[in-house]
A and B are shown apart, each in its own frame.
Chain A
Amino acid sequence: MIRIENISKYFNETKVLEDISTHFERGKTNLIIGQSGSGKTVLLKCILGLFDASKGEIFFENQSLNKMNSKQRSVLRQEIGMVFQGSALFDSMTVEENIMFPMKMLTKKSTDEIKMRSNEVIKRVNLINSNKKFPSEISGGMKKRVAIARAIVMNPKYLFCDEPNSGLDPKTAILIDNLIQEITKEYKITTLINTHDMNSVMEIGEKIIFLENGKKVWEGTNKEVFKTENKGVENFVYSSELFKKVRKVYLKP
């Protein structure tokens, strides 16, 4: 479980996050939603330790991130898998090499063991025929799957995804969302996803926090988000014509 208490973040004089507290449970897909510029990525990077929070504390299983020294942080990071918005695959490595990379770097496993584990993960994300290809030779959806495979290859306790389905067609986006949710359940990971995609909210939002101008203004589930009275969330959720029509037909007849 990850718990955050009163997190604030300033860049010089600009306040980007203000007094955010919540917790993210193990085995659940936790979503951080909000408009662009609402502070989602900064919050994710603060939790990851890529940015230091200006105020507040972050706990990983009751261990405070703020009180960890660089060695402890390094150990914690080995328990974290991250799927970046642009996949962040290493261009000079093949799909297989990308997936094997964390194990080669951080474990003492033999080449055979590394190969075996990487094959398992490649099968899990359904990339069997692409393992010898370079990232430039595969599609956006496949890149995301490689990024997911690389993120889970070390059996992480925590999985962070920054807009995992941005730039993907709706069908592939749903496949990626479902894959993340399945992996979360299967490996009992604490998963945190940054998104502004309403399909993801509907499909996998087991817990959702909504950010507006750096503040947490709402918290709930995907069942509650469509019925909320909160104006900010309502405007965000029903910003598209499609969702407005869906509401008209199904929710407020």
Chain B
Amino acid sequence: MEILYHIGGYFIMLRKVFGKFTKWNILKNLILREIDVLIIGSLGIVSFISFFVGGVVSIQTALNLENPLLPKNLIGFTTRQSVILEFAPTFISVIMAGKVGSFITSSLGTMKVTEQIDALEVMGINTFNYLIFPKIIALLFYPFIITVSMFLGIIGGYVASIYGGFCTSADFIEGIQIDFTPFHVSYAFIKTFLFAFILASVPSYHGYFLKGGALEVGKASTTSFVWTSVVIIITNYIVTQLLLT
């Protein structure tokens, strides 16, 4: 029953987020600040992970191609498919649930326990719009991170297969071009937009409605990571079922 209470609370929160709007000149600055913290601040770790995981995907594929009849361009093909379809949009989103999600929950949670949210409330400000809406808008730029991740994942795969001696540059480049379905990229970006919304809203719910003190802020960050990941994984399954089958 408690889960229904939280689901209800989450949707009520969303309605309030799009309620009374904050003045545009203030909102604009908040959005820019959130883009800097949530998007630009995540580029480093996403680039690092994407490059190396792309490399690992290509090595694993190469090591499993034991049959000499299988063409070497399969390494490039598999790397491209894995990175575009699942690794970049889903795996990176789960990592972002840890990085961005925990940050959102702990920052809102700290504002809650130090009564800063109450202070805003008393001033007659729509705290949901002021605190959560800029995060949702900032995360609309999340596909930019995923684009970088896709690109670096494939580059990582390329570097690992060439310098590991698993295939030639021509094989890999041929592999990433064969049987290319543009809809797969659209599918990946549809998922990315949905995940971006989840990444902004689920951790905000956990932070905003936190009760207790400093210890609870830590607990809420963990719970927020777990629930954001669960919602992302379930959404991924539903979207894949709907769009690819």
Contacts and interface: CB of A to CB of B under 8 A. Distances in A.
Contacts of A90: 116, 119
B116 A88 contact: yes
A251 interface: no
A73 B124 CA distance: 8
Interface stretch (A23-31, A101-109, A202-210): A101-109
Contact of B115 (A74, A75, A84): A84
Nearest to A83: B119
A201 to B, nearest CB: 24
A102 B121 CA distance: 11
Contact of A105 (B26, B116, B118, B122): B26
Main secondary structure of the interface of B (DSSP, over half): loop
A50 B116 contact: no
Contacts of B26: 104-105
Report the interface size class on chain A. Answer: 20 to 34
B25 to A, nearest CB: 9
B114 A105 contact: no
Contact of B118 (A50, A73, A78, A102): A50
B124 A74 contact: yes
B124 A85 contact: no
A158 to B, nearest CB: 10
A140 interface: no
B121 A86 contact: no
Interface string A85-115: 1101111000000000010111000000000
A106 B124 contact: yes
Given A104-B26, A105-B22, A105-B23, A77 B119 contact: no
B122 A50 contact: yes
A105 B123 CA distance: 9
Contacts of A76: 124
Please indicate which of the listed interface residues B23, B116, B124 has the most CB atoms of chain A within 10 Å of its own CB.
B124
Contact of B125 (A73, A75, A82, A105): A105
Contacts of B124: 73-78, 106
A80 interface: yes
Interface of B: 20, 22-23, 26, 114-116, 118-119, 121-125
